Amino acid sequence: MTTCSVCGAELTLHDDAEAGEILDCTTCGAELEVIETAPPVLERAPELEEDWGE
């Protein structure tokens, strides 16, 4: 269990969560990045940059 860094809502990570994965907060909709998995730490995900993508 951890909290959304934007709205403070409680979130539970999936068992297979990976550092670097992006999650949507189900309460506020913010994109969050998994920084650590044990214990879980979330931060607001970086904004999309121009050269991102395949």
Partner 1 sequence: MSVKIGILYSRVRTDEKMLLTELRERGHEVEKIDVRDAQFAIDEAGSVFADLDLVVDRCLATSRSVYATQFCAAYGVPIVNAAETATICADKVKTSLALEAAGVPTPATTVAFTEESALDAVEAFGYPCVLKPVVGSWGRLMAKIDSRNAAEAIFEHKATLGHYEHKVFYVQEFVEKPGRDIRVVAADGEPIAAMTRSSDHWLTNAAKGAETDAFDVGEEVAELVAAASDAVGGGLLGIDLMETGSPHDAETASGDDSPASYTVHEVNHTAEFTALDEAVDVDVPAAVVDWLELKAEAADAADAHLEVTV
Query: Applying CB under 8 A, which residues contact partner 1?
Result: 16, 18-22, 33-34, 45, 49-54
Query: In this complex, which beta carbon is closest to partner 1, that of residue 6 or of residue 31?
Result: 31
Q: Which two tokens stand for residue 7?
A: 């709205």
Could you give the CA distance from residue 49 to residue 18 in angstroms, rounded to a whole number? 21
Rounded-to-integer distance, Cα 38 and Cα 48, Å: 26
Measured CA angle at 36 (ends 4, 45), to 5 deg: 50
Q: How far is the CB of 19 from partner 1 (least distance, A)?
A: 7
Task: Compute the least distance from the CB of residue 9 to partner 1, in Å.
Answer: 22
For residue 27, the minimal CB distance to partner 1 (Å) is 22
